[in-house]
Amino acid sequence: MRSFLFTLRRTVAVGAATVAALALTATAALADDPTPRPGVVGGTPAQQGEFPWMVRLSMGCGGSLYTQQIVLTAAHCVSGSGANTSITATAGVADLGSSQAIKVKSTRVLQAPGYNGSGKDWALIKLAQPINLPTLKTADTTAYNNGTFTIAGWGADREGGSQQRRLLKATVPFVDDTACQQAYGNLIPGEEICAGYLDQGGVDTCQGDSGGPMFRKDAAGAWIQVGIVSWGEGCARPHYPGVYSEVSTFAANIKSAAASLGG
């Protein structure tokens, strides 16, 4: 089981690097396509401005604005911690090809302390300038780790598919730890939260959506982030739900890490 775990996680991490190369090609190619297919498996196009804190990262991952100058993403999307000016964040647009796109470079990356390829799949990216867009609140209790979640991203629209120019969204139901552990013996229940249609499959995040948020409405009707796209066996397969970092578990760590980056 341990070797399966490591093999799977390594596949996922290598996938992110492959996706980074694909993302550039896909964005360029799709610029001339009048009917590009939307991203996320089983989704529909998001409206411009619908999820204003959604960010596309140049290595081929998603992210969310934690503050106006800090992006929350997955640890497996970055290669370590420290000064880093190599990442471009694209924000403010559902269509990555839009002339309205806001593009800001990174200055620093903070990968979850102790990240070793399983669990703790979160990281922060500090931006060179703040972006004047709404931020996404993060869950700091388990209260919202249930119900129906929204997922969104510019990743593949099917297993093995290409990266997408237009943001796609979908909704997926919560899958409890016991059921998720039946699919994945290597699940880390305290650090990971699963979602998907267990029996049917068909709706899921996929390669290139990693690092993006999984979110729902809170008691006040505001969007709140409960997960970070992390991994899965293929995409949208029956009996293999998507696995997300459990944001509530890491809320305090993320908060202090953001403070150490200067908010």
User: Which residues in this chain contact ligand ARG in the complex, by CB under 6 A?
Assistant: 12, 15-16, 19, 155, 204-210, 229, 231-232, 235, 242
Nearest one of 119, 121, 110 to 70, comparing CA atoms: 110
3-state secondary structure of 256: helix
**The one catalytic residue among 210, 230, 245, 248:** 210
Integer Cα distance of 51 and 205 in angstroms = 16
| 262, β-bridge pairs | none
Closer to ligand ARG by Cβ: residue 69 or 227: 227
99 is catalytic: no
CB of 91 to ligand ARG, least distance (A): 18
Closer to ligand ARG by Cβ: residue 36 or 201: 201
- Of all helices (H) and strands (E), which one includes residue 19? helix 2-30
**The one catalytic residue among 64, 106, 118, 121:** 121
Closer to ligand ARG by Cβ: residue 36 or 155: 155
CB of 147 to ligand ARG, least distance (A): 18
CB of 130 to ligand ARG, least distance (A): 26
**The one catalytic residue among 76, 118, 162, 248:** 76
DSSP state of 234: S
CB of 13 to ligand ARG, least distance (A): 8
121 is catalytic: yes
Closer to ligand ARG by Cβ: residue 110 or 229: 229
218 is catalytic: no
Integer Cα distance of 105 and 127 in angstroms = 6
Using CB positions, name the residue nearest to ligand ARG.
232
Q: Name every residue whose Cβ is closer than 8 Å to that of residue 13 and which is 6 or more positions away in sequence.
A: 76, 117
- Report yes or no: 253 and 123 within 8 Å, Cβ to Cβ: no
3-state secondary structure of 227: strand
Closer to ligand ARG by Cβ: residue 45 or 232: 232
Q: Tokens for 180?
A: 């998720």
CB of 76 to ligand ARG, least distance (A): 6
Nearest one of 174, 231, 228, 226 to 198, comparing CA atoms: 174
Active-site residues, by number, are 76, 121, 210
